């Protein structure tokens, strides 16, 4: 028996799926781009599977159709729209007005600057959708004032980085759009389900600062008198100038989706128009701003599309060798039922996020886990929002978290890198507490969903009574 006959004698569902994962890990460890790693591994094992007879070569003819479906997916158009909106707002000066005004309003109380950073981070998350924009803007404005005021450096850097990552959960999050597409759920439901966890996260962050201000007020001192502005109409105007346009833009984007007036793609287009209007109002709408924003949008959108095409090549071959059955057998027998499965999956994704971007995890891992979750009776919106909360931690992992890299890039040299890393640890713990809360309290997600009973069209039976009998009519000749 030669080696090919021996390999062909092994059940392919026990052989090929683990080999495909091992090959993908090797490519990623070498440093090959994820999109091309996925495509290369998928095509390589696809040719081997055809040669060994694991599936017919006609199976690979599905690939052009799948790629065409990706490129013609209207929902994915929301990604460039929301990215462009965030890139414009990042440069239009809105964050400066919000942070400076809100910081002055809370400046008299211990931890006031930290409260301002958390609230403004939530607002920026709801209108920009990008972690980089939030962290960089808040770091450049708030960190120097916190240093001058005497904030503990770990508290200051931690609250800035963590507040920037709120963007990942608060709608209109790009992660929720991608997860909704991969799970086959509407983006409106994903956004509605994320409302409860977003409010819980804000409450956890504010409660942490409140505890620090009570038990260690010297670490979060109030603003000194020489930095406080008088409470005049000018201060309130500055706050309203940044707050009111933000609320209007949030309603344009999210309100129209929740009320069913616009699809996510249409809402994203309106958001871009609103962002351009805000930039014009703040007198920041220039040709270089638009050029930079469009360049950022092009790079992110191209990255997403290439990863998605690579992932569909990988998943097509993976499903062809019955990888879905292998995953289901691997995970369905975990102890604890739904809870055991969710705990295992979240631990797995938590460690996977050390090395992979959230787009890569969403496109590679989620399509493999979704069928198992569905078979266990897990609400897929709950599952998707839970994964989104977990992916948020990928930005806070020391030493690989991107939020920490962004903060390191704009922080003065006097701020030690170890303070940035250690400062992230308590906030990472708060994010994991939120993961646990959502696992054991699914109503925090499902309460916000419209789960009214709907009639399945396939079960509708239209029973019409027979027409009444007509008296016999004499035949009328057509031609005389």
Mean pLDDT of the chain: 80
Domain-located, residue 278? yes
Confidence of residue 430 (pLDDT cuts 50, 70, 90): very high
**337 pLDDT above the threshold of 90:** no
Torsion of CA 417, 421, 422, 424, to 10 degrees: 140
The number of domains in the chain is 2
Residue 145 has pLDDT above 60, yes or no: yes
Do 24 and 82 share a domain, yes or no?
A: no
Instruction: Give mean pLDDT, residues 33-49.
Output: 86
225 falls within a domain? yes
Q: Is residue 467 part of a domain?
A: no
Tell me whether residue 346 is in a domain: yes
Same domain, 78 and 39: no
Most confident of 8-12, 57-61, 101-105: 57-61
Provide the pLDDT for residue 433.
93
Comparing C-alpha atoms, which of 217, 211, 155 is closest to residue 422?
155
Q: Are residues 24 and 131 in the same domain?
A: no
Same domain, 35 and 140: no
Do residues 62 and 200 share a domain? no
Q: Is this prediction's pTM over 0.75?
A: yes
Shared-domain flag, residues 94 and 63 = no
My answer on whether 28 and 117 are in the same domain is: no
pLDDT (tens digit, 9 = 90+) per residue, 177-216? 888 888 888 888 888 898 899 999 999 999 999 999 999 8
Please report whether residue 426 resides in a domain: yes
Is residue 403 included in any domain, yes or no?
Answer: yes
54/82 same-domain check: no
The predicted pLDDT at position 7 comes to 52
Domain of residue 240 covers 74-446
Residue 194 lies in a domain: yes
pLDDT value of position 209: 92
Residues in Cβ contact with 69 at an 8 Å cutoff, skipping those fewer than 6 apart: none
Residues 101 and 45 placed together within one structural domain of the fold? no
User: Which of 21-30, 180-189, 341-350 is predicted least confidently?
Assistant: 21-30
| 181 and 43 in a common domain | no
pLDDT digits (tens, 9 = 90+) for 146-173: 888 888 889 988 998 888 888 888 887 7
Give 69's pLDDT tier (boundaries 50, 70, 90). confident
Domain-embedded: residue 321: yes
Distances (CA, A) of 348 to 333, 351, 354, 429: 16, 6, 11, 16
CA 178/CA 195 separation, integer angstroms: 17
CA distance 423 to 154: 4
Greater confidence (10 vs 421) lies with 421
pLDDT at 348 over 90: no
Q: How far is CA 435 from CA 19, 168, 200, 282, in A?
A: 31, 14, 11, 38
């Amino acid at each position: 028996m030669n080696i090919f006959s021996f390999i062909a004698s092994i059940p392919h569902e026990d052989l090929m799926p683990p080999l495909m994962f091992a090959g993908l890990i090797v490519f990623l460890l070498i440093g090959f781009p994820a999109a091309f790693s996925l495509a290369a591994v998928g095509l390589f094992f696809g040719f081997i599977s055809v040669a060994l007879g694991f599936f017919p070569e006609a199976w690979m003819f599905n690939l052009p159709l799948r790629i065409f479906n990706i490129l013609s997916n209207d929902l994915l158009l929301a990604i460039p729209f929301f990215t462009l909106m965030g890139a414009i707002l990042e440069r239009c000066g809105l964050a400066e007005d919000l942070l400076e005004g809100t910081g002055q309003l809370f400046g008299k109380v211990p931890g006031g600057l930290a409260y301002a950073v958390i609230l403004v981070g939530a607002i920026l998350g709801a209108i920009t959708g990008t972690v980089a924009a939030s962290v960089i803007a808040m770091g450049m404005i708030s960190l120097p004032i916190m240093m001058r005021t005497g904030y503990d450096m770990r508290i200051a850097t931690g609250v800035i980085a963590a507040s920037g990552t709120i963007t990942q959960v608060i709608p209109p999050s790009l992660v929720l759009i991608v997860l909704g597409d991969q799970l086959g759920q509407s983006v409106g439901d994903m956004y509605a389900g994320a409302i409860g966890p977003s409010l819980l996260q804000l409450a956890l962050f504010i409660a942490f600062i409140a505890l620090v201000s009570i038990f260690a007020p010297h670490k979060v001192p109030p603003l000194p008198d020489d930095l406080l502005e008088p409470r005049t109409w000018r201060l309130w105007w500055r706050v309203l100038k940044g707050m009111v346009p933000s609320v209007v833009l949030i309603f344009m984007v999210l309100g129209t989706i929740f009320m069913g007036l616009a699809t996510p793609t249409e809402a994203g287009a309106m958001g871009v128009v609103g962002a351009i209007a805000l930039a014009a109002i703040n007198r920041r709408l220039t040709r270089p701003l638009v050029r930079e924003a469009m360049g950022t949008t092009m790079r992110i959108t191209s990255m997403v599309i290439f990863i998605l095409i690579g992932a569909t090549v990988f998943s097509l071959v993976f499903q062809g060798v019955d990888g879905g059955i292998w995953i289901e057998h691997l995970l369905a027998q975990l102890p604890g039922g739904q809870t055991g499965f969710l705990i295992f999956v979240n631990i797995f994704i938590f460690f996977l996020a050390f090395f992979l971007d959230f787009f890569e995890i969403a496109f590679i891992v989620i399509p493999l886990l979704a069928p198992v979750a569905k078979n266990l009776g897990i609400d897929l919106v709950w599952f998707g929002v839970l994964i989104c909360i977990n992916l948020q931690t990928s930005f806070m992992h020391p030493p690989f978290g991107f939020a920490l890299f962004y903060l390191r890039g704009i922080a003065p040299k006097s701020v030690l890198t170890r303070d940035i890393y250690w400062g992230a640890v308590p906030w990472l713990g708060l994010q994991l507490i939120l993961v646990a809360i959502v696992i054991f309290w699914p109503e925090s997600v499902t309460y916000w969903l419209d789960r009214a009973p709907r009639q399945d069209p396939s079960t509708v039976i239209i029973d019409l009574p027979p027409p009444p009998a007509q008296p016999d009519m004499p035949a009328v000749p057509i031609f005389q």
